Structure 1
Amino acid sequence: MSLRLTVSAAVLALAAFASSAAQADEGMWTFDNFPTATVNAKYGTDIDQRGWTACAARPSVCPAGCSASVVSGQGLVLTNHHCVVSCVQDLSDAENDYVQNGWMPAAREQERQCPGVQAQILTEITDVTDQVLTAGAGLEGAAFVQARNAVSRAIQEEACGDDDTRTCQVISFYRGGRFALYEYRNYSDVRLAFAPEFQAAFFGGDPDNFNYPRYALDAAFLRLYENGQVVETPNHLTWNPAPPTEGEPVFVAGNPGSTSRLLTVAQLENLRDQQIPVSQLQRSELRGRLIAFGERGEEQERVALDTLFGVENSFKAFYGQQLALNDGDFMGTKREQEAELRAAVAADPALAERIGDPWTELETVQSSVEELYLPYRQLESAAGGGSTLYSYARAIVRAAREGAKPAGERLPEYASETGLTNLRRRLADGTPVSSELDQLLLGFWLSKTREYLTTDNAAVQTLLGNESPEGLAERLATGTTLTDPAVRTALFDGGLAAVEASTDPMIQFVLRTEGLGREPRAQWEQRVSAPTGQAAERIAQARFAVYGDSQYPDATFSLRLSYGAVEGWSYRGVDVPPMTYIGGLYERATGAEPYNLASRWAEAEGRVNHETVYDFVSTNDIIGGNSGSPVINARGEVIGAAFDGNIHSLGGAFGYDGELNRTVSVSTAAVTEALRNVYRLPHLLEELGVE
């Protein structure tokens, strides 16, 4: 698991905060194009470069697919419990289940390192658009992709070299309209400082997920260390234990993962008709298998919990996306917006000549997507089905094979020395692996690959030979030695000769089969990625020509800022209030899962203040990846941590509805009350500056 620390101070120091138009509270804005004037006019705030931005320029943190924030001078990081549950699970064993019982050390010395977690602090952003666009000019297909990859790799290596304390990444914005180099400082010692019981953090379970009202303490604390010492973090958000107020302007700084708001109608239709349905069918069946696996016993239930949570969370998220894409009004709006842009281009002969007709080109590309998606998904992009042991083996085998080639001919993920160093670090991590769970995931992938590609498919015959998916998965998962990090690193360090000489069954299987994904990948890049990138680049140019900088780019898991207010909503005649209170937790509890109280909360019922604001909603525009983002008031103080969206927000991947879309956050008031009267951790309260 990677933890990316993004220091917004570095970004804000570069930002001019140009004013631009925004619709409602829409937008996951880059810091160099945040609509400051619009926000100030709408909410009466006084955000400027010298005042509020100096307070907002504090570290933002994102644990593997999430976000978070540094909230003390001693490297203390606030995030969601669901963002660190894999760490909590890795620290647990059959005798000590910290997921169910919580992790709450009484002193800093008792904090334990999260296996496999790394942190990165964003230090600088540089625009590299001209370099990247020039590299692909005049090229087609694979040559276009390779040229873009090569120049991005060169930019990254020039900036970071072989310094393994730094990471450099070229990120695309506006679907290829702009590129920027993000430079990070790496940390490899991240420790768990506090995590409540799973039942307290996820009260209401899957039925309440993406719904509201909520009564969840979805919060946890990590701490950053270097060379065995706490990392000093003088730039941090100030903890405000006061509750939010209705109508209060709030800001969310974090790393939203991925949105598709700039896709064309043809691309959205393919997602609706092919890609989402296929993935949802598999998630649905895998969910059932994981539930059955957990019913075998307490240990199986424990090791499957994090994986099951991820599958259920993804299933509901894509369910919401499917609803949006099936909504006639929603797609009608998308068609109108696309027609408006195309008409504006057509009305300008010079622009039309420069842009051409990328929309029709993308319609044509979708026929290739339909043809290639299943083999590409099953044999390459989703190969292994989430099996950790398979992923180790494929990384080792590909690193060995790619390492024998010149850098310019390698797969991009194996082309840089920094990338290989990071891979070796991941292989050396002592993260526990459940062979039993891995066997389930590997067998499911093999069976679905046979089902979707058919038994007579040559790739399927190579994968399975004369074995069944379940039998092969059992042989590989129980026979491999890759659960040992020393074995993994020895194979990695030994290169191709050591890998080919290995008798490990998982290594031998991957040596024989990993090439099956290379041809679908090459076809995908040639017929989908390259023409899509080229067409999207021209659509981005058209958008800039017509709308200027009044629009924000799609989310790319890079630092963004959204604005909004604490506000409920109305739907079909029902008014939903913006805040819930701790007292509502006890009223909602039934004693049966998923509405049973965590034991510490049941015992503390007479001590806690039932009037404390627990969770709240706001109009901020967020998406997956924003989980754990700090919710900041106009004074630059953290007053909550975003952990969810309401059911209406799930279509936010494709568009924002200011009337219905809401961010769901846990309040710092609730976290403070819990630390004081439920968990009784005065050292954390003192560190947060709370009396």
Structure 2
Amino acid sequence: MKKLYQLISLFLLFAFIIPINAQLNLDTVKYQKHDNGKQWAFDYPPINYLKEKYDLKTNEEWFEDIRLSALRLPGCTSSFVSEDGLMMTNHHCARGLLERIKKDGEDLIKDGFFAKSMAEERKIPGYYADQLVMIKDVTEEIHNAEKEGTTVNEKAEKKKAKIKELSEKYQKETGLQIQIIPLFNGGKYSLYGYKRYTDIRLVFAPEMQIAYFGGDYDNFTYPRYNLDCTFYRAYENDKPVKSTNFFKFSLSGIEPGEPIFTVGNPGTTNRLKTVAQLEYARDIIYRNNSFLFDSYYYALEDLKKEDPSRAKEFEDLRVQLGNSQKVISTTLKGLKDPYVYAKKVDFQKKLQQAVWNNPTLKEKYGKVWENIESTRNEARKIAPQMASLSFVQNRMFGSKYFAIAKSLLDVAKELQKPEDQKAAQYKAEKLDSTLKALLPEKIDQLLENTKLWINIEYMALNLGWDDPLVKKLSGGKKGKEIAKWLLDNSIFGDRDDIIDLAKEGADAIMKSEDPILYYVKEADKRMPELQKQMQEVTDTEGIYDDMLGQAIVEIYGTELPPDANFTLRLSDGTLKAFEYNGTVAPFFTTFYGLYDRWYSFYKKYPWDLHQRWEKVPADFDLATPFNFVSNNDIVGGNSGSAVINKNAEVVGLAFDGNIDSIIGNYIYIPYNNRMVAVDARAIVYAIEKVYKATRVSNELKNGKME
């Protein structure tokens, strides 16, 4: 009977697998209209598209109002949400600032913040918000400058010079922050002028536990239950900014099929790049980064078991890495997906055929793809060496042993100088104290030894285990044994040994065969030339990228959205469920789901709650919509984007995507790519009912201060 069950199981397995593989005939996979996404630039507003798609009548004034209501923060997006300069963004965009501006005895991450009066609104030093107030097409000026060059290198230099000239000219004339950015891979160039607000003050932030409920586990998932919001206020001349353009809140909700829009600054996409560039990203950039993030992320979990007394510390480090680790590893998985790859190949083939079928375009752009493939092949020769020699400067992943060795090398260079040319701290009488100040008394061996063996395995990934440098550093060992062997054969495990070598003088340091010091000397010697070579490749490819962009514009005009580059975009969508884990995600979650998850995980981290949420007011309506999901096209940088309806009213606040949105850096697949947002109703309701911050909730409802 057991064998019979096994046969039945095998039959069912193959009955399921074979039809799926049969359905995926890669030769029939075709590029679809919105594979390049829906991140519309305000330079080319999609008026006709919105009319055709939603029967929505928009005009230049509609787009201008939206543009001037939106703001760009360092790394994130914000927007004005009242006429008195109130600004909305995500809590995760403000997390580092909360640490910076807390006062003695405060824990703003744990307990949140609310300014009960304007006088209590807390200034954030060194922070700013940019408002896009000017757009100017400078394509002709830059392309004409490129044409003045007779070689690719000359063209690159002419382009740089023209961009610098235009930036300085308009900065001086307007007093605005000027940025010249390529659109359509350089097929177009726009000059953006930003008004910068430099007096930004914190008004309200919830505690992290409700803003990031579920922590790293729930990140990039849905259903979600996050109050991921924060409110600032912009000031000028010590008074709140009077914002003519702002997004007023709507508490009417969203109907299925109703068009909604995100207004924000998506960071980077590479959807219009060539197949050769995609392959390079897959084989070099994401493979390398995925190795580092995955190795360190999972090693930290092991360290929690190795030293349980430091479990929280290591978990905090994992949380810091978690977002990037998910993005990078999932993007790599997407780039390896044959379906995704086939779509990118088909888009390139269609574009190539359109160019090659036109004799004039073929003459100008026919070899662009071949030339870009050539530059990527050159980069493939350089990148593994650069990656392997990078740990001296890599603060996140590089072991401190390399940084200490670099300090020793710098000492040697200083000691080589004549006595009268040495900096005072390196002269004989002060050398001992200088060395002791440079070298840490203690090293976190558990953490740094872990980084050390990961660093060496990363070098082997790029150079191979037989590479002389890898052999010298690994001693033929692998995994954790590398660190033990290396420190047994190096002076850098003992501070006194380092100081003793330094006292022997520059020659002793420079001639030392210590493996860690040898690595640092190799990096110091080889990196400048490698960086120069890579810059030449990058500059050359930049010209070919411009030509590729010009070809795209010749064929498609501006009907395709340009790749994201952390400038303002509008993305359209509707509420859209999706299938996952054998079921279907709902449009909305509610506060009921928050408490179900809290109880289901025994109220344990990261599903624990602050005490103010453990017992909410008796009249709190748990059925209030909390988070929602839609098919708006967003990527990193969109964090903090207002989600608005056709009347430019806030209906939500974008804070994340589902796991299937991550490959959106390279392709937008509407079947399962989803944006996750906080519902406007949840924001106002929670601020009013739980935080009793009626000064803020009333301003959101009225669009102005009382």
TM-score tier (shorter)? 0.7 to 0.9
Rounded Cα–Cα distance in structure 2 between residues aligned with 1:274 and 1:159: 39
- Judging changes above 3 Å, is the alpha-carbon distance between structure 1 residues 297 and 649 closer, same or farther for their aligned structure 2 residues? same
| 1:443-462 pair list within 5 angstroms | 452=458
Q: How big is the shift at 1:546?
A: 1.8
The residue number in structure 2 matching 1:586 is: 595
The residue number in structure 2 matching 1:317 is: 327
The match for 2:162 among 122, 141, 151 is 151
Is contact 2:612-2:690 (8 Å) kept?
yes
The match for 2:223 among 197, 205, 213 is 213
Q: How big is the shift at 1:59?
A: 2.2
Q: How big is the shift at 1:651?
A: 1.1
The residue number in structure 2 matching 1:679 is: 691
The letter of the residue matching 1:147 is K
- Judging changes above 3 Å, is the alpha-carbon distance between structure 1 residues 188 and 35 closer, same or farther for their aligned structure 2 residues? closer
Rounded Cα–Cα distance in structure 2 between residues aligned with 1:438 and 1:227: 48
What's the CA shift string for 1:359-379, capped at 9, x where partnerless? 122222222222222444566
Rounded Cα–Cα distance in structure 1 between residues aligned with 2:214 and 2:596: 13
Rounded Cα–Cα distance in structure 1 between residues aligned with 2:525 and 2:171: 31
Rounded Cα–Cα distance in structure 2 between residues aligned with 1:289 and 1:190: 39
The residue number in structure 2 matching 1:427 is: none
Q: How big is the shift at 1:88?
A: 1.0
| 1:111-510 pair list within 5 angstroms | 111-137=121-147, 138-140=149-151, 142-161=153-172, 166-288=176-298, 305=316, 308-377=318-387, 383-386=393-396, 452=458
Secondary structure of the 1:32 match is coil
The match for 1:539 among 533, 537, 548 is 548
The match for 2:43 among 13, 28, 32 is 32
Rounded Cα–Cα distance in structure 2 between residues aligned with 1:442 and 1:223: 42
The match for 1:71 among 67, 81, 84 is 81
Rounded Cα–Cα distance in structure 2 between residues aligned with 1:617 and 1:31: 24
Rounded Cα–Cα distance in structure 2 between residues aligned with 1:517 and 1:148: 26
1:652 aligns with 2:671: no
Is contact 2:131-2:195 (8 Å) kept?
yes
- Judging changes above 3 Å, is the alpha-carbon distance between structure 1 residues 350 and 143 closer, same or farther for their aligned structure 2 residues? closer
Q: How big is the shift at 1:446?
A: 7.8
Q: How big is the shift at 1:614?
A: 0.3
Q: How big is the shift at 1:147?
A: 2.9
Rounded Cα–Cα distance in structure 1 between residues aligned with 2:655 and 2:442: 31
Secondary structure of the 2:268 match is coil
What's the CA shift string for 1:408-452, capped at 9, x where partnerless? xxxxxxxxxxxxxxxxxxxxxxxxxxx999999999888766665
The match for 2:642 among 621, 630, 635 is 630
Q: Which segment drifts farther, 98-107 or 663-672? A: 98-107
- Judging changes above 3 Å, is the alpha-carbon distance between structure 1 residues 155 and 370 closer, same or farther for their aligned structure 2 residues? same
The residue number in structure 1 matching 2:565 is: 556
Rounded Cα–Cα distance in structure 1 between residues aligned with 2:75 and 2:309: 28
- Judging changes above 3 Å, is the alpha-carbon distance between structure 1 residues 53 and 440 closer, same or farther for their aligned structure 2 residues? farther
Alignment TM-score, normalising by the size of structure 1:
0.76
Task: Give the RMSD, CA atoms, in angstroms.
Answer: 3.9
The residue number in structure 2 matching 1:104 is: 114
Secondary structure of the 1:180 match is strand
Rounded Cα–Cα distance in structure 2 between residues aligned with 1:580 and 1:377: 44
- Judging changes above 3 Å, is the alpha-carbon distance between structure 1 residues 58 and 668 closer, same or farther for their aligned structure 2 residues? farther
The residue number in structure 2 matching 1:409 is: none
The residue number in structure 2 matching 1:47 is: 58
- Judging changes above 3 Å, is the alpha-carbon distance between structure 1 residues 546 and 563 closer, same or farther for their aligned structure 2 residues? same
The letter of the residue matching 1:317 is V
Rounded Cα–Cα distance in structure 2 between residues aligned with 1:44 and 1:255: 26
Rounded Cα–Cα distance in structure 2 between residues aligned with 1:674 and 1:444: 43
What's the CA shift string for 1:452-482, capped at 9, x where partnerless? 5589669x99xx999777889xx99xxxxxx
- Judging changes above 3 Å, is the alpha-carbon distance between structure 1 residues 368 and 241 closer, same or farther for their aligned structure 2 residues? same
The letter of the residue matching 2:39 is M
- Judging changes above 3 Å, is the alpha-carbon distance between structure 1 residues 304 and 255 closer, same or farther for their aligned structure 2 residues? farther
Secondary structure of the 2:180 match is strand
Rounded Cα–Cα distance in structure 1 between residues aligned with 2:159 and 2:541: 13
The letter of the residue matching 1:152 is I
Q: How big is the shift at 1:584?
A: 1.2
Q: How big is the shift at 1:104?
A: 2.0
Rounded Cα–Cα distance in structure 2 between residues aligned with 1:445 and 1:161: 47
Is contact 1:78-1:221 (8 Å) kept?
yes
The match for 2:629 among 600, 617, 623 is 617
The residue number in structure 1 matching 2:101 is: 91
Rounded Cα–Cα distance in structure 1 between residues aligned with 2:391 and 2:455: 12
- Judging changes above 3 Å, is the alpha-carbon distance between structure 1 residues 142 and 670 closer, same or farther for their aligned structure 2 residues? same
Secondary structure of the 2:272 match is coil
- Judging changes above 3 Å, is the alpha-carbon distance between structure 1 residues 283 and 48 closer, same or farther for their aligned structure 2 residues? same
- Judging changes above 3 Å, is the alpha-carbon distance between structure 1 residues 437 and 67 closer, same or farther for their aligned structure 2 residues? farther
Rounded Cα–Cα distance in structure 2 between residues aligned with 1:140 and 1:436: 54
- Judging changes above 3 Å, is the alpha-carbon distance between structure 1 residues 308 and 229 closer, same or farther for their aligned structure 2 residues? farther
Instruction: Flag structure 2 segments of 5+ consecutive residues without an equivalent.
Output: 1-31, 404-440, 461-466, 474-485, 500-519
What's the CA shift string for 1:93-135, capped at 9, x where partnerless? 7842211221223222222222432222222111111222233
Rounded Cα–Cα distance in structure 2 between residues aligned with 1:321 and 1:108: 44
Is contact 2:216-2:322 (8 Å) kept?
yes
Rounded Cα–Cα distance in structure 1 between residues aligned with 2:442 and 2:92: 23
- Judging changes above 3 Å, is the alpha-carbon distance between structure 1 residues 233 and 301 closer, same or farther for their aligned structure 2 residues? farther
Is contact 1:387-1:441 (8 Å) kept?
no
Which of structures 1 and 2 has the bigger CA Rg?
A: 2
Q: How big is the shift at 1:675?
A: 0.6
Rounded Cα–Cα distance in structure 2 between residues aligned with 1:144 and 1:439: 50
Secondary structure of the 2:135 match is strand
Alignment TM-score, normalising by the size of structure 2:
0.75
The letter of the residue matching 2:58 is I
Secondary structure of the 1:236 match is coil
Q: How big is the shift at 1:213?
A: 0.4
Is contact 1:386-1:441 (8 Å) kept?
no
The letter of the residue matching 2:157 is Q
What's the CA shift string for 1:157-211, capped at 9, x where partnerless? 1111399x64211111111211111112223322221111111001111121111
- Judging changes above 3 Å, is the alpha-carbon distance between structure 1 residues 359 and 24 closer, same or farther for their aligned structure 2 residues? closer
Secondary structure of the 1:161 match is helix
- Judging changes above 3 Å, is the alpha-carbon distance between structure 1 residues 610 and 515 closer, same or farther for their aligned structure 2 residues? farther
The letter of the residue matching 1:183 is G
Q: How big is the shift at 1:216?
A: 0.5
What's the CA shift string for 1:581-604, capped at 9, x where partnerless? 111111111301222223211121
- Judging changes above 3 Å, is the alpha-carbon distance between structure 1 residues 381 and 60 closer, same or farther for their aligned structure 2 residues? farther
The residue number in structure 2 matching 1:491 is: none
What's the CA shift string for 1:306-358, capped at 9, x where partnerless? x6544211111122212221111111111111111111222112211111311
Q: Which segment drifts farther, 321-330 or 642-651? A: 321-330
Same amino acid, percent of matched pairs: 32
Rounded Cα–Cα distance in structure 2 between residues aligned with 1:664 and 1:204: 14
Q: How big is the shift at 1:534?
A: 2.1
